[in-house]
Amino acid sequence: MENVTFEEFINFVKEYNPDEVERVTKAYEVAQRFHDGQYRDSGEPYITHPLQVAYILAELRADGDTLCAALLHDCLEDTTLIKGDIEILFSKSVADLVDGVTKLSRLNFSSKEDQNFANTRKIITSVREDVRIIIIKLADRLHNMRTLGYKSKFKQKENALETMEIYVPFAYNLGCYQMKRELEDLSFKYLREDDYKRIFDEREKIVSENKDMLDQMAHEISASLSESNISNIIIPRIKNIYGIFSKLENGYKFSEIHDLLALKIIEEKIIDCYTSLFYIHNSYVPIMDKFRDYIASPKTNKYQSIHTTVISPSDTLVQCQIRTRLMDRIDTYGLPAYWDTDKGYARIRMQEELKKDYQFYTSLKEIDSIFKDNEEFVTQVKEELFTDKVYVNYNGDTKELPKGSTGIDLAYKVDEEGAPKLVNLEVNNEKFPINYVLQNRDRVKLITGEEDTVNESWLVEAHTTHAKELIKERLNKESK
């Protein structure tokens, strides 16, 4: 990927945020002065890095504070500039953002490992202060991953692994799918070079074989919608390389991956999405168990879209993702989409949305308050928040839980009062014990009795911190 020049960057900022051009230019000049004489592993002047990071954020329509902080983001760690200077030259808000992305000094820790765990915790918990810190971190990581080729083999593997374990799940939890997919593929390339190449080539082949068919389908759907005066944009979408790899690992063949080839169908209004669905099902045979309505039940990272997989004219599977324009922005950019939709209020809106609607935020708060030790905290976050999810059906609603959750976890999620009285589960009309590990699409009923049945063994059988804490509380009360 070509580097952008400062002129290209600032012209881009001018287009969507002309009022901030002066301040952002000043941030660039300060960063350039302080990084003077420093070089990247690629041999380029160091300033190219913060400039590209700021450009990635400008593409998300980031506000002025964020752009200034992105340009200055490595100054506290790598130059003589101090936080107080940034506060005087810019603002407290910019200084806090830069401080937020700055690593804790090695001097405060007895070992490198301790320092690493403390830093990971600092990054993860920064969302509680200001989600823009983690968004800057994600952009920083993305540029570092794009330029990872200049690092040693050891560093490449180390950074790729950390990206997969921390940054990819973070991007997912904030709904930043575009960033998530690029981070996944870049990491995967360094972790499993041969698999990456093999899948890359096969994917290219499938794309070229099916290009005409996808265009034809897009054309047909678009024509029938336009006939009914429904405006629409249809964009082909191919699954990312790591996404394909995960499916292959789970035993699927290329031809069985139901969303390898997809069409994004973008409408103005929600009602038009359902009309589109009607046209699609009317023209192509749908695969019944691949239908999902995430408009009616959004994912906990706010993803909304109707998914249906149909059989294409050339007999391959094609997924249709139907959504409105606003949903598409949020599906692509995640929480940062509010920079564009809410302009000056975006910062407050993002923090409010996070508190109100993003499940990982609530769970993170619990884990943060319970696990004092940094290593235990990081381990718990990885196992509980940064892991795959299961989706079960409870009372007609879709509930999302971390993979490995049992009936006990579901009970404490949906009914805190009744949970201690849980005696059995009914899963898909069959009886199961309460420690049954939930599977995708299970239809679950909770059977409760008159008396509390909660006991010590529940602490082991529950998976989520939320359930464990409530069980502990209850057991403590009893022993008193």
Report the catalytic residues: 77-78
Give 313-330 as a DSSP string: TTS-EEEEEEEEHHHHHH
Supply the minimum distance, in Å, between the C-beta of residue 397 and Mn ion.
42
CB nearer to Mn ion: give 20 or 140.
140
Closest to 232 measured CA to CA, from 196, 200, 263: 263
Nearer to Mn ion, 145 or 419 (CB): 145
How far CA 53 is from CA of 18, 33, 333, in Å, comes to 19, 17, 16
Q: At what angle do helices 241-249 and 193-227 cross, to 10 degrees?
A: 110
In the Cβ-directed half-sphere of 243, how many Cα atoms lie within 13 Å? 17
- Min CB(172)–Mn ion separation in Å: 22
With residue 444 as reference, give the H or E element that holds it.
strand 443-448
Q: Helical H runs in 358-453?
A: 359-370, 374-384, 407-414
Size of the site for Mn ion (CB under 5 A): 2
| CA pair distance 469, 252, nearest whole angstrom | 39
> Per rule CB under 5 A, is residue 142 in the interface with Mn ion?
no
| Binding pattern for the stretch 60-79 against Mn ion, x by CB under 5 A and - elsewhere | --------------x-----
35 or 302: CB nearest Mn ion: 35
Closest alpha carbon to 222 in 180, 192, 265, 190: 265
Closest CA to 232 of 243, 224, 241: 224
H/E element, 156: helix 153-162
Residue nearest to Mn ion (CB): 140
CA of 423: how far to CAs of 378, 414, 417, 442, 474, in Å?
33, 15, 14, 18, 16
Closest CA to 393 of 350, 444, 357: 444
State which residue, 28 or 432, has the beta carbon closest to Mn ion: 28
**DSSP annotation of 150:** G
Residue type, 174: L
If the CB atoms of residues 136 and 164 are measured against Mn ion, the closer one turns out to be 136
Q: Which of 65, 130, 140, 384 binds Mn ion (CB under 5 A)?
A: 140
Binding segment (CB under 5 A) for Mn ion, from list 37-45, 132-140, 201-209, 248-256? 132-140
Site string for Mn ion, 188-227 (x = CB under 5 A): ----------------------------------------
Q: Which residues contact 448 (CB under 8 A, 6 or more apart)?
A: 418, 421, 422, 423
Terminal alpha carbon distance of the chain: 64
* Comparison of 141 and 399: residue with beta carbon closer to Mn ion: 141
Q: Residue 73 or 399: which CB sits closer to Mn ion?
A: 73
**Minimum separation from the CB atom of position 362 to Mn ion (A):** 30
Please, what is the minimum distance in Å from the beta carbon of residue 167 to Mn ion?
13
Under the binding rule (CB under 5 A), the answer on residue 136 touching Mn ion is no
Instruction: Tell whether residue 272 is a contact of Mn ion (CB under 5 A).
Output: no
Least gap, CB of 140 to Mn ion (angstroms):
4
18 HSE (CA, 13 A, CB side): 1
Query: Per CB under 5 A, which region of 137-145, 333-341, 438-446, 453-461 contacts Mn ion?
Result: 137-145
Task: Give residues in contact with Mn ion (CB under 5 A).
Answer: 74, 140
